[in-house]
Structure 1
Amino acid sequence: MSARPQAVLFDRDGTLVVDVPYNGDPAAVAPMPAAAAALDRVRAAGVPVGVVSNQSGVARGLLDPAQVIAVNARVEELLGPFAVWQWCPHGDGDGCPRRKPAPGMVLDAAAALGVAPGEVAVIGDIAADVGAADAAGARAVLVPTAATRGEEVEDARARGRLADDLLGAVTLLGFA
């Protein structure tokens, strides 16, 4: 990969924290293995970290925005401060330009951080995360979970942007 990014954005569910579908309960938040260590490594380099997260449970009526905000606060309590939070409450069929794989959240996060999209990296666990990075002109690293489809893993492997875990992802981005 090229030079180290100037900002790193993480997907929330399945990447930073264990994916609890439509989680509105801060007590159910549990960090993924190595999440704290990976974030510490990026922060130690003076590079801001942020979160970009689809939260379609709001559109589906399964969550309200206050619950999303409470869960995000718990993530921050467990994993430290994030320079930017971007989350989209819309569903698949809403046509929102911010909902991953659309680039809106990545572009908005980059703008909020004062960094060009091409200087940003996005780390996530599914194709929507990679697609949002690609659409924004950012770099992407896929850290697969049980939810990641095989063809997504193979595509990421072929393109040199596959990591076994979050520490591997930040190492791939130049944070050794």
Structure 2
Amino acid sequence: MRAVFFDRDGTLMEDAHYCADPADVQVFPGVPAGLRRLKRAGFGIFLITNQSGIGRGWITEQQYTAVHQEFLRQAGEASIDATYYCPDAPDVPSSCRKPEPGMVLQAAADHSIDLSASYFVGDKAADIECGRRAGTHTVLVLTGYGTAAQNSNAEFVCKDAVEAIELILR
């Protein structure tokens, strides 16, 4: 299976900085329709997200789950095949925390994904490095923290997730 791995915060939705309230979830315009187009084209869609607010004690797993459920509702739940999240704080050794590719490799094993035919789309250098280490094509979006990560050596740079989806579908 070909897949697109997306970072969530800053890539598909506004980065509400350790979002703990579902009312703060704002999926970017065009994202739900774009995800549906990827699904129709045969791509698997996976979310790969660091959630260090949990490990730092700033948000609870329950708050993360409530926020994520609202994200799925707004984005179109049927479009997302699976979500992999890492709750580890940055100062804790971790094989799942991006830029480590652990979550992508787990998704690939769980869903028989051809990583060389897949893409990682994100707004931070850690997202691009994660995709590179996993063997995917990489797309930096300039939403969220994207403008600060323009030296990330991404294969492609797009203004937002919708433009990234258009690029992938070409």
Q: Quick check: TM above 0.5?
A: yes
2:50 aligned partner: 54
1:153 to 129, 150, 154: 150
Q: Does 1:28 align with 2:24?
A: yes
Find runs of 4+ consecutive structure 1 residues off by over 6 angstroms: none
1:8 CA displacement: 0.7
* Distance in 1 (alpha carbons) for counterparts of 2:42 and 2:152: 31
Helix, strand or coil: the match of 2:150? helix
Q: CA deviation at 1:48?
A: 1.5
* Residue number in structure 2 paired with 1:92: 90
Q: Distance in 1 between matches of 2:76 and 2:5?
A: 14
Q: Which runs of 5+ in 2 are unaligned?
A: none
RMSD between superposed Cα atoms in Å: 1.7
1:7 corresponding residue in structure 2: 3
Whole-Å separation in 2 of the counterparts to 1:148 and 1:45: 26
Deviations 1:153-176 (A, max 9, x none): 1444xx541111212111222x14
Distance 1:105 1:155 in 2: 20
Q: 1:68-79 residue pairs with structure 2 within 5 A? A: 68-79=64-75
Q: 2-side partners of 1:149 and 1:162: how far apart? A: 10
State the SS of the aligned residue for 1:12.
Answer: coil
What is the alpha-carbon distance in structure 2 between the residues aligned to residue 9 and residue 154 of structure 1? Answer: 20
The alpha-carbon deviation at position 112 of structure 1 amounts to 2.0
TM-score, length of structure 1 as denominator length: 0.88
Secondary structure, in 3 states, of the residue corresponding to 1:92?
coil
Q: Does the CA-based 8 Å contact 1:122-1:141 persist in structure 2? A: yes
Distance 1:45 1:90, change over 3 A: same
SS of the equivalent of 2:157 reads coil
Against the structure 1 CA distance between its residues 74 and 115, is the aligned structure 2 distance closer, same or farther, given a 3 Å change threshold? same
Task: Check the 8 A contact 1:58/1:90 in 2, yes or no.
Answer: yes
**Percent identity of paired positions between Structure 1 and Structure 2:** 35
Give the Cα–Cα distance (whole angstroms) in 1 for the partners of residues 116 and 141 of structure 2. Answer: 20
Q: Which amino acid aligns with 1:153?
A: Q
Corresponding residue for residue 160 of structure 2: 165
TM (normalized to structure 2)?
0.91
Q: 2: distance between equivalents of 1:146 and 1:137?
A: 24
**Structure 1: distance between partners of 2:144 and 2:14:** 11
Unaligned runs of 5+ in 1: none
